[in-house]
Structures are given as C-alpha cells and as structure tokens.
C-alpha cells in the first residue's frame, strides 16, 4: 500500500519537476519519501535530495548515490521547464512571489528561487535568469505540540511562548500544530481566536489565499505579510486572543510583540538560536526578555529527530 508521503510527493511535487527527473523520483522506494525534506535543482550541477541526516543525488538510472559525481546533471532546459511549471507559464503573474524569493505550490510546498536579482531603489525589483530551485516539502505532524499545551494553556490562562532552535529543528511544524490545537479547543479547553502572521508562507502554506495546511477552525491568516505590520493589522481588525508568527528578530518585530502584549494579546513565536544563553545575548530578544514579554521558553533540537524538545523554561 502506497504511504501518505509518497502519494503527496508524487501528486503535489513531481509534476513540477523536469520530465527527466519525474520518473526517477516516482521510482524511489517508498521508505525514502518519509525522509525526503528538500529537492534542489542547480543548473550544471547534480540534483540534490536532502534526506534529513544525509544529502544524496540520483544517477541517470534513478539510483540514490552519495557520490555526487554520478548524479543527474540539471541542464538549462530542465531549469527553464521547471520555472515555467511552478509559475504556471506566467512569470509575470508570479512576479511579486518571485521578488520575495519563493513560490508556494498547492499543498503548501514552497519553491525557493535563486538567480540574478535586480534592485530598484532600496528593494528587490525582480529576479531573472533563475539558476537554482529548492523544493521544500511541507509536512504536517498533527499532535506533535500536544505535550507543550500544559505549559502554554494553564489554569491562569494562555502564556506567551518563544520556541528557540537552530534551523531545521521543526519549530515551524510545532508552531503550526500549536495554532491548530489552540484554535480547535484541545481537550476541555475552549477554542481561541488565533491569527497567524505568515511572512514566509510556511506556517499555513497558503495557495491563492487559502491555507493548505490545517491551522485550526478559529484561525485567520495574514499571508506573505511582514510580521510587525501584520501584528498591528491583526490588533486593529481581527480581535485575536493569540498571535502566532515565525522567526522574530528585528527591532520592529520586538516592538510589535510588545504592543500585542500591552493590548492583552498573547504571542507565540520562534527565534533562531542554539541555546537560551545565545538568545539572551541578541539585542531584540534581550529587550523582550527584560520586559518579561514571554513566560515560557521552549528549546528544540534534532537530537531525536526534528522537533525534539530539549528544554522548557519558565520566564515569568
């Protein structure tokens, strides 16, 4: 019986790949699909598959190889076809997405782009001559945040929380599940009004404005919206009880978090750091921690796979 990961990848990712790669990916043993996190295409370089703890390539016969010299080489025609496919043959219709560096596919999967960046004034005007693509496979792990709920939804009420981790440790997946649980009324708890400010279109994976991933029945999503601006928009018009956003770090993000807390709205967010000690040294979070903006800190790692809860600290 075909597993769920295989079905999703074959249906939602493979059709966008170059024809020469489609049969090779489809022919993989199904056990490999569960580990597959990224597919990277670079012009004149071997295709790369990120399988979590290892990166491999595919040879001309579709066999996984650790020796990249034996991998299938992506040519300019492969790249041209793939860019046309992910942009639905309308590069200009996706111009705003391309300027942000990624396109979201049905299913919530994200395709990161790299190429020649053209600046207009002080911002990216466009990107052309795309030379590499990174297909990041969106996965839901429903229930992965259940063990955190008692630390966030207590008898005293909702606690503002900050997930701390290095890259690729599952913080976005856990944030998404926390939003789903809180907005769905887990256990005997009432559903909360949640707003997700999804600057990078990863938490909800919106396609055409509609979340492709389950973020809960009482959740509103501000997709592709800068975090600071989105938090202020949510306060003004969406009456949230909780705001969920990913990867705060700029001074304006910290100021917006403080505004939310002053308005009685709880914030659940994340920050890139390898430890709580590193977190406390960063200017933006140092200011928030000094103001007791977050009551709970959750440190993640990949020790036992993505999403490993390394430590939970109370900061109130």
Q: Backbone phi, then psi, for 230, in 5-degree steps?
A: -65, -40
Report CA Rg, the chain.
20
Q: What is the DSSP letter of 45?
A: S
pLDDT digit string (tens) for 262-274?
999 999 999 988 8
Q: What is the DSSP letter of 140?
A: -
Q: Which of 314, 315, 310 is nearest to 165 (CA)?
A: 310
- Domains, in order of start, for the chain: 4-136 (3.30.450), 146-314 (3.40.50.300)
DSSP string, 161-218: EEEEE-TTSSHHHHHHHHHHHHHHT-TTSPP--EEEEETTS-SS-EETTEESS---TT
pLDDT digit string (tens) for 77-92?
999 999 999 999 888 8
Do the strands 110-120 and 123-136 form a parallel or antiparallel pair, or are they unpaired?
antiparallel
Rounded to whole angstroms, the Cα distance separating 290 from 216 reads 32
Tens-digit pLDDT string for the chain (316 aa): 458 889 999 999 999 999 999 999 999 998 899 999 999 999 999 999 999 889 999 999 999 999 999 999 999 999 999 999 999 988 888 988 999 899 999 999 999 999 999 988 888 888 999 999 999 999 889 999 999 999 999 888 899 999 999 888 889 999 999 999 999 986 678 999 999 999 989 999 999 899 999 999 999 999 999 999 999 999 999 999 999 999 888 889 989 999 999 999 999 999 988 899 988 888 878 888 888 889 999 999 888 777 788 899 887 6
Cβ neighbours of residue 179 closer than 8 Å, sequence gap 6 or more:
194, 196, 203, 215, 216, 219, 242, 244, 268
Binning the chain into helix, strand and coil, the percentages to the nearest 5 are 35, 30, 35
What SS3 state is found at 222? strand
- Residue 280 pLDDT: 85
H/E run at residue 286: helix 283-290
Residue 189 CA: distances (Å) to CA of 46, 109, 134, 300: 50, 31, 39, 26
Rounded to whole angstroms, the Cα distance separating 36 from 34 reads 6
Rounded to whole angstroms, the Cα distance separating 283 from 107 reads 36
H/E run at residue 150: helix 149-152
Rounded to whole angstroms, the Cα distance separating 259 from 91 reads 38
- Residue 1 pLDDT: 46
């Amino acid at each position: 019986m075909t597993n769920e990961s295989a079905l999703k990848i074959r249906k939602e990712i493979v059709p966008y790949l170059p024809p020469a790669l489609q049969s090779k990916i489809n022919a993989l043993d199904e056990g490999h699909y569960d580990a597959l996190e990224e597919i990277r295409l670079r012009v004149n370089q071997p295709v790369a598959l990120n399988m979590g703890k290892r990166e491999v390539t595919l040879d001309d016969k579709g066999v996984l190889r650790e020796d990249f010299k034996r991998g299938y080489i992506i040519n300019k025609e492969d790249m041209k076809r793939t860019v046309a496919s992910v942009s639905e043959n309308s590069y200009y219709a996706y111009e705003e997405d391309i300027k942000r560096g990624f396109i979201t596919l049905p299913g919530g999967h994200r395709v990161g782009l790299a190429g020649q960046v053209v600046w207009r004034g002080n911002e990216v005007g466009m990107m052309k001559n795309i030379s590499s693509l990174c297909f990041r496979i969106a996965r839901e792990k429903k229930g992965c945040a259940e063990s955190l709920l008692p630390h966030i939804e207590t008898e005293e009420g909702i606690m503002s929380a900050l997930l701390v981790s290095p890259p690729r440790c599952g913080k976005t997946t856990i944030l998404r599940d926390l939003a789903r649980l809180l907005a769905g009324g887990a256990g005997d708890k009432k559903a909360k009004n949640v707003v997700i400010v999804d600057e990078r279109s990863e938490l909800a994976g919106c396609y055409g404005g509609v979340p492709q991933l389950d973020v809960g029945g009482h959740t509103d999503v501000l997709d592709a919206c800068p975090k600071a601006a989105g938090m202020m928009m949510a306060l003004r018009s969406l009456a949230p009880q909780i705001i969920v956003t990913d990867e705060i770090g700029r001074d304006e993000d910290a100021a917006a978090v403080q505004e939310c807390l002053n308005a009685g709205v709880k914030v659940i967010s994340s920050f890139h750091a390898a430890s709580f000690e590193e977190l406390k040294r960063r200017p933006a979070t140092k200011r928030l921690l000094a103001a007791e903006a977050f009551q709970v800190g959750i440190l993640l790692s990949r020790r036992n796979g993505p999403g490993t809860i390394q430590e939970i600290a109370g900061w109130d």
